[in-house]
Amino acid sequence: MCADYDVPGSGGTLCIWADCTTCCESTGGDCRCLGGETGEASLPLLLIVGLLVLGLFTVVGIFYSVLVATVVGQRIWQRHYHILAKRMLTKVSPVSFSWHKQFLFHMLFSQCYILKSSYLFIFCCTSGVCSGGRGQRGHRLVPTTPSRGPRSTAKGTWTPVGFAVTLSTVEMAAVESVQCFGRKKTAVAVAHCKRGRGLIKVNGVPIELVKPEILRLKAFEPVLLLGRQRFMGVDLRIRVRGGGKTSQIYAIRQSIAKALVAFHQKYVDEQSKKEIKDILVRYDRTLLVADPRRCEPKKFGGRGARARFQKSYR
């Protein structure tokens, strides 16, 4: 793990990492070793280099923040907030206010990115993650994998000082889930069904607390028909929007029934899906099929869709 670089004023090749003897032999003895005889990296020097890079990045970030805050921020302010500045902030010029609005955001954004990059660079230098290619002058620092074991040299057995960060492929298990819709008039309920422990929530609230209370049993109908055991292995989360209270309850019950049928069809078996579907259809077909009926709109000449105003002949 010897990295050789052309460094001005170094008098030849600069060996950064361990096994400096082998590096000097490969370059004909024209090299400088930062680690001394042991071949370890010089930690203070690397920290100084890292701090210098951090300072340089910080200066560049401040310059970038000031530039963006003065040029881009001024244009945005003059375009979108010029009228507001005239009415409410007459004593604050657009340029100075763009500093207040834009400078802090760009400063924080650029500094966070720069600090992260700089600290990563310092960590790589001090821990020995980065090393150059052997025998290639001017090769850039690239991550390398650690050696499989100690290497034998002329002076004895040598163990690499640095280590490399390797990314292992993590196979995440696919989440078994389905999504179904329930509709009634203008109310739409979206049900997410996945493996779980029998949790049923509507807009973040347990289904036992759904309001109005007089229609709560309507939302419970799929559970009462199929039995609690069929819902013990799944979690249902429903979001409902639109319509009125009654329409939302009917949309909720339909989404629950359709989600359970779809889950059994996709992840359990066809027979259990057919049994559930038959039970639901036998009780009420609208548990699985949306009701297309809509309120007939009112017409002119009367108080409703069909009612007409009274007509007088005399």
Are 72 and 111 in the same domain? yes
Has residue 164 been placed in a domain? no
Has residue 166 been placed in a domain? no
Are 108 and 194 in the same domain? no
What is the pLDDT, as a whole number, of residue 254?
A: 97
* pLDDT per position as a tens digit, 179-196: 999 999 999 999 999 999
| CA-closest candidate to residue 163, choices 120, 131, 116, 119 | 131
The DSSP output letter for 288 is T
Are 244 and 124 in the same domain? no
Q: Is 148 helix (H, G, I), strand (E, B) or coil?
A: coil
Mean pLDDT of 46-74: 71
The structural domain count of the chain equals 2
Has residue 210 been placed in a domain? yes
What letter represents residue 223's amino acid? V
* pLDDT per position as a tens digit, 114-149: 555 555 555 555 444 444 444 444 434 334 444 444
Pairwise CA distance, residues 242 & 290, whole Å: 16
Has residue 217 been placed in a domain? yes
What is the pLDDT, as a whole number, of residue 279?
A: 96
**At which of 126, 147, 168 does a domain end?**
147
| CA-closest candidate to residue 280, choices 223, 240, 233 | 223
Pairwise CA distance, residues 142 & 83, whole Å: 53
Are 109 and 185 in the same domain? no
- Tell me what percent of the chain is helix, strand and coil, each rounded to the nearest 5: 45, 15, 40
What is the pLDDT, as a whole number, of residue 190?
A: 98
269 is in which domain, residue-wise?
Answer: 177-287
What is the pLDDT, as a whole number, of residue 133?
A: 40
Centroid of chain to Cα 132: 34
Helix (H) or strand (E) holding 117: helix 104-127
Answer positive or negative: Cα dihedral of 197, 200, 204, 208.
negative
Are 119 and 222 in the same domain? no
Say if residue 81's pLDDT is above 90: no
Could you please report the per-residue DSSP string of 24-64? Answer: HHHTTT-EEETTTTTT---HHHHHHHHHHHHHHHHHHHHHH
Has residue 314 been placed in a domain? no
217 band by pLDDT with thresholds 50, 70 and 90: very high
Centroid of chain to Cα 73: 29
Parallel, antiparallel or unpaired: strands 13-15 and 31-33: parallel
Are 240 and 135 in the same domain? no
| CA-closest candidate to residue 257, choices 228, 233, 300, 286 | 286
48 band by pLDDT with thresholds 50, 70 and 90: confident
Are 203 and 108 in the same domain? no
Are 132 and 23 in the same domain? yes
Has residue 157 been placed in a domain? no
Has residue 310 been placed in a domain? no
Q: What is the pTM of this model?
A: 0.47
Are 142 and 16 in the same domain? yes
Are 31 and 86 in the same domain? yes
Has residue 197 been placed in a domain? yes
Are 141 and 182 in the same domain? no
| CATH value at residue 228 | 3.30.230.10
Are 102 and 209 in the same domain? no
Provide the b/e sequence for 179-206 (b: ≥16 CB within 10 Å).
ebebbbbebbbbbbbbebeeebbbeeee
The DSSP output letter for 300 is T
